[in-house]
Amino acid sequence: MPAGDELRVIKCPQLAESLSEGDIRWIKGVGDTVKEDEVICEVETDKTSIPVHAPASGVILELLVEDGTTIQPGKDIMRLQIGGGAPAASRPAAPAAPAAAPSPAAPATGSPVSGPIPTTPPPAPAKPSGPMSSTPVSQIQMPGPVTASAGADAGDSVPVGARTEQRVKMNRMRQRIAQRLKDAQNTYAMLTTFNEVDMTSVIQMRNKYKDTFLKKHGVKLGFMSPFVKAVAFALQDQPVVNAVIDEQEIIYRDYIDISVAVSTPKGLVVPVIRNCEGMNYADIEKAINVLGEKARTGSLAIEDMDGGTFTISNGGVFGSMFGTPIINPPQSAILGMHAVFERPVNVAGKV
């Protein structure tokens, strides 16, 4: 190690109070040069991914835990050589022992040992380049058995049309989401009702004021803010929907914190817009923009998702017309919004 350089052991940082462990995902590797405050890995918890930053510039000498390992706060995870020099020379390897005579291979028994479980899904199968054959099934000639010579000519090539499977490890966030939603289904007495909303006035209002709104407030006027505002009014009128049951007591809240479900590549996250009862359209749109950007970049903090007294889930972004959203525990209700379609309706006796 060059003179003046310092060797430092990096530990897993403290997580939120409600979190005691997480799975590590390495972004940097051994021999990589990192700058101060650069992200070297992420700790994926049940709620979000927490980035771990380099405390100083230097070179990574050793990773003390493997990728995907479950770790706790304070666990040693890496050795970092502080300074701009090259990594210290590794200890010389011991001389190799003379090679032993090869032994005959034993016959294979049982299932082969599988490789590491991938963390990315397999690519989608290619779409057919042309229309499917219209030949009746009864006229299709099945191929004959493969002869030994044909098999030898084919070698190890994969047969055309072969089907494969690939296992992808589910991350902690998706596991926790699945567990919470299933617990809610098993615990809550849920009832779903369906109602239609005429969006004509909202669309006209948005079309009329969107340019002025953007110029004045610096954010676009979307469709989410009218629904957040409407929900806030409704919860003030019916505070029992904004309440929560705690064993044999009902806890009423004089504040309205609305959770907005957002789909991300890592799973569903539900950041919270707080104190919606006192917000106007511009306040709501700005809050949605900030939380949406954090969700897209994976920088949501635990504090951004804690709490919430009511949830809005927008299935319309997927084109769905109806749905039965699952309540976000320990809340008492959820609103599912869906796609807007133009169609003729009877209004005051006229179509």
Report pLDDT for 230.
96
CB under 8 Å to 67, separation ≥6 — which residues? 24, 25, 26
Cα angle 330-336-342, degrees, rounded to a multiple of 5: 175
Whole-number pLDDT of residue 84: 57
All structural domains of the chain, each given as residue ranges with its CATH number in brackets, are 6-82 (2.40.50.100), 192-337 (3.30.559.10)
Tell me, what's the pLDDT at 243?
A: 96
SS3 24: strand
Q: State phi, psi for 330 to the nearest 5 degrees.
A: -95, 25
Number of Cα atoms under 13 Å in the Cβ half of residue 199: 17
**The pair of three-digit structure tokens given for residue 131, joined into one six-digit string:** 């229309």
- The CA distance from 16 to 18, in Å, is 5
Distance CA 327, CA 333 (A): 6
DSSP state of 83: S
* Residue numbers of the chain with a pLDDT score lower than 70: 1-5, 17, 84-159
CA-wise closest residue to 65 among 25, 36, 119: 25
**H helices, E strands: number in the chain:** 6, 16
d(CA 325, CA 345): 26
The CA distance from 82 to 35, in Å, is 10
pLDDT of residue 256: 97
Residue with tokens 């804690």: 306
Q: Does residue 121 have a cis bond before it (omega within 30 degrees)?
A: no
With contact defined as beta carbons under 8 Å apart, do 273 and 291 qualify?
Answer: yes
pLDDT of residue 59: 93
d(CA 71, CA 26): 13
How far is residue 143's CA from residue 173's CA, in Å, rounded to a whole number? 47
CA torsion, ordered 39, 19, 21, 325, to nearest 10 deg: -90
Using alpha carbons, select from 331, 337, 277 the residue that is nearest to residue 305: 331
Per-residue model confidence (pLDDT) at position 28: 93
Confidence at residue 297, expressed as pLDDT on a 0 to 100 scale: 82
**Contact criterion met (CB below 8 Å) for 315 and 338:** yes
Q: What is the predicted pLDDT for the residue at 138? A: 52
**CB neighbours of residue 288 within 10 Å:** 20
- Using CA atoms, how far apart are residues 266 and 173, in angstroms rounded to an integer? 7
